[in-house]
Amino acid sequence: MPTQPLSQKEIEDRLRELPGWSLAGDRITRTYRLADHFAATALVVHVASIQQELDHHSDLTLGYNSVVLSVNTHTAGGVTEKDFALADRVEAVASGHGAN
């Protein structure tokens, strides 16, 4: 049975717990700013390992000193608790990479 998308209110409530994250269409998104390209790349590698562990792969965009993470559950057609679990894990490691 596929994971069900969250309601608009559920998404808004969960986003209050994740400063910097916002709803963009059918996904939650966050842009991290880092010191330089090396730090941004290191964060991407760390996020990729979290995605692999959770078997939940989101879109990542790497810039010179930024990383944009855009997350939804494609099979559910929207944002699910699985997306917030990934976002929570990324938040827990991002500050260790100097992200803000």
Residues 6+ apart with CB under 8 A from 65: 33, 34, 35, 36, 37, 39, 40
Q: Look at the domain 8-97 and name its fold.
A: Gyrase A; domain 2 (3.30.1360)
Task: Please write the tens of the pLDDT for every residue from 57-94.
Answer: 999 999 999 999 999 999 999 999 999 999 999 999 99
Which helix H or strand E contains 46, and what residues bound it? helix 37-54
Residues 6+ apart with CB under 8 A from 21: 15, 28, 29, 30, 87
3-state secondary structure of 7: coil
pLDDT at 54: 96
pLDDT at 3: 84
Q: Considering only CA atoms, which of 82, 77, 76, 84 is closest in space to residue 30?
A: 84
pTM score: 0.94
1 pLDDT exceeds 60? no
Task: Please write the tens of the pLDDT for every residue from 14-43.
Answer: 999 999 999 999 999 999 999 999 999 999
